[in-house]
Amino acid sequence: MGEAKRRQLAAQAQAMDVMLVDTPGGRIHVQWDHGASATSNAQLSFFSEFLATTGVYDAWVKTCPLNYTSPNAPSKRDVLGTWLLAILAGHNRYSHITGLRGDAVSPQILGMQKIISEDALRRSLSRISAEQSQTWLVPQLLSSVHAALSTPWILDIDTTIKPLYGKQSGAEVSYNPHKPGRPSHALHTYWVGNLRLVLDVVVSPGKEHSAAKARPGLIGVLDNLGEQHRPTLVRGDCGFGNEPFIAELEERTQPYLFKLRQTAGVKKLLTRQFARDDWTPPGASDQGWSAVEDTLKLSGWDKARRVVILRRAVRTDLALSRKTSNEVGEQIELLMPDKDVQAWEYAVLVTNSSYELEAFGQLYRDRADCENGFDELKNQWGWGGFTTQDIERCQTSARCVALVYNWWSWYCRAAKPGARMEAITSRALLLAGVGRAVKHAGQTTLYLTPMHAAKDKLIELIANVRAALSHVRAVAEQLPLTDRWKAFLDYVVAKITRPLLPWSRPIQLMRAG
């Protein structure tokens, strides 16, 4: 750049420092403040207090396998702090990190020196091998929920598809319900049912979306859980109701509940069951569903198993159509059922659990909550984003996003124990806020201006979080060797746990009680 160009830019900058701007509301004096430290996420200070008090952030940074020898390389804390800020902001591309680099307050809150560039973050993650990533993140994900698994809980299995638009490793054309023909990755996910907490996620090539590819990840999760922390039930859709999957769980004496595909053997079962007169009457909370149970041995099974048949009358008017062939060609024939015909919707479940028959309808309907978790992670947290050419970094990013998502979920449950808060509303309420940092006499003061209309509600939620953290500090002061994260989760779980309904308890537990 020449000297003349420098003088021109300097003159333009000086002219822009103080301006008179005519607006519909009148003339406003505008002045740039280049030296101030400000942030648009001032409430990050409260979330940072949560991370520091519970110790999860320091453990995440300390166990990270990144190792640099160059004095010019960024520190692990700068790398992971930048990534944490990007994930909290809901980014799904590395290029979005550029929008964070003007924030001069957030790095100080997280104990960082600076926010690194998108290229530096990509290069840093490329230094972590697949084995190192798994050794680092799988225990972190499990420990983020492990302390809360002492109460009865359900493990949900499901798979979601991540469409790809480049030449990534593992980008294969296979099952893709929303974008047929588009290459994709398959994300096999293992959930804590109804709490929407992620135990683990395995990123596979697009053609590896079947239940057989999800089985190793499930066995790994079960093996990492102690006997007292095992799920009361493993639950999945019809993709998992097959012999190899079921037999693996039966060998481990693990109760399960899966839906069965509508095969010929299942349809023969249905023809025998609909004539029975011992269907359970639908209760007030059953949404019209009735149930009976029987045993079934399909051709691919090595033994008969307990099956539960659910049905519900379809109350709306129906019109059926079918294709017919005649001299003219194929035509559509419309069939109108008469008044003596009753239409039903139905489902057939296979299980080895000892729950009462009346419980299975609600137990399986609750599985649909997985879809809400997938929607939140993919659309509000950028899950499946941060895509790179190699599938190993995609695996690392998926697990890191899931880990931050778990942390934020617990933070929100401490703030509002009675209900879940999705990121689209909770980040705007509990994270966003204009903050200006002022340093004087070695002390930093953060002046926070909330931009949310529900200020009174916000203060109440922050007070709830700080009450939980005060409890953790008090316990840690009395018992210095206590696990702070477990103490925090015990406090939150006690706030949100409700006693089981009598009909939802396993039979042996009811008899024991």
| CA–CA separation, 7 and 280 (whole Å) | 86
DSSP secondary structure, 167-223, as one string: --TT-B----SSSTT--EEEEEEEEETTTTEEEEEEEEETT--SHHHHHHHHHHHHH
**307, 295 contact by CB (below 8 A):** yes
> pTM above 0.85?
yes
CA-wise closest residue to 176 among 157, 158, 159, 161: 161
Residue with tokens 């041995």: 297
What pLDDT score does 504 carry?
47
Dihedral of CA atoms 163, 169, 170, 173 in degrees, nearest 10, equals 50
Residue with tokens 């004096």: 29
CA quadruple 374, 378, 383, 388: dihedral sign: positive
What pLDDT score does 509 carry?
37
Q: Are residues 19 and 69 both part of a single domain?
A: no
β-strand 233-236 against 256-259: which pairing, if any? parallel
What pLDDT score does 111 carry?
93
DSSP secondary structure, 246-302, as one string: HHHHHHTT--EEEEPP--HHHHHHHHHHTT-S-PPPP-TTTTT-EEEEEEE--TT-S
Q: Are residues 76 and 27 both part of a single domain?
A: no
CA-wise closest residue to 467 among 401, 417, 407: 417
Indicate whether 456 belongs to any domain. Answer: no
Geometric angle at alpha carbon 146, from 143 and 148, rounded to 5°: 135
Q: Are residues 21 and 71 both part of a single domain?
A: no
Amino acid identity of residue 295, one-letter, is T
Indicate whether 151 belongs to any domain. Answer: no
Indicate whether 196 belongs to any domain. Answer: no
CA-wise closest residue to 403 among 63, 24, 40: 63
What pLDDT score does 329 carry?
62
Low-confidence ranges of the chain (pLDDT < 50): 500-501, 503-513
Q: Are residues 269 and 315 both part of a single domain?
A: yes
Indicate whether 147 belongs to any domain. Answer: no
What pLDDT score does 11 carry?
65
Distance of CA 110 to the CA centre of its chain: 24
* Cβ-proximal residues to 316 (8 Å cutoff; 6+ apart), any chain: none
Helix (H) or strand (E) holding 29: strand 26-31
What pLDDT score does 19 carry?
80
**473, 489 contact by CB (below 8 A):** no
Helix (H) or strand (E) holding 10: helix 3-17
Structural domain boundaries, residue 25: 3-32
Burial of 468 (0-12, 13-18, 19+ CB in 10 A): buried
CB atoms within 10 A of CB 256: 25
End-to-end distance of the chain based on CA atoms, in angstroms? 83
What pLDDT score does 407 carry?
97
What pLDDT score does 511 carry?
32
Q: Are residues 274 and 334 both part of a single domain?
A: yes
Last residue in a domain, options 332, 351, 370: 351
Distance of CA 322 to the CA centre of its chain: 41
Q: How far is CA 230 from CA 151, 153, 217, 283, 302, in A?
A: 10, 8, 15, 30, 26
Indicate whether 412 belongs to any domain. Answer: yes
What pLDDT score does 235 carry?
94
Where b means 16+ CB within 10 Å and e means fewer, 6-43 reads: eeeeeeeeeeeeeeeeeeeeeeeeeeeeeeebbbbbbb
Q: How far is CA 281 from CA 172, 312, 467, in A?
A: 48, 11, 46
CB atoms within 10 A of CB 358: 19
* Cβ-proximal residues to 370 (8 Å cutoff; 6+ apart), any chain: 156, 158, 189, 191, 193, 196
Indicate whether 441 belongs to any domain. Answer: no
Amino acid identity of residue 501, one-letter, is L
Domain total of the chain: 3
What pLDDT score does 446 carry?
87
Indicate whether 322 belongs to any domain. Answer: yes
Indicate whether 298 belongs to any domain. Answer: yes
Amino acid identity of residue 164, one-letter, is L
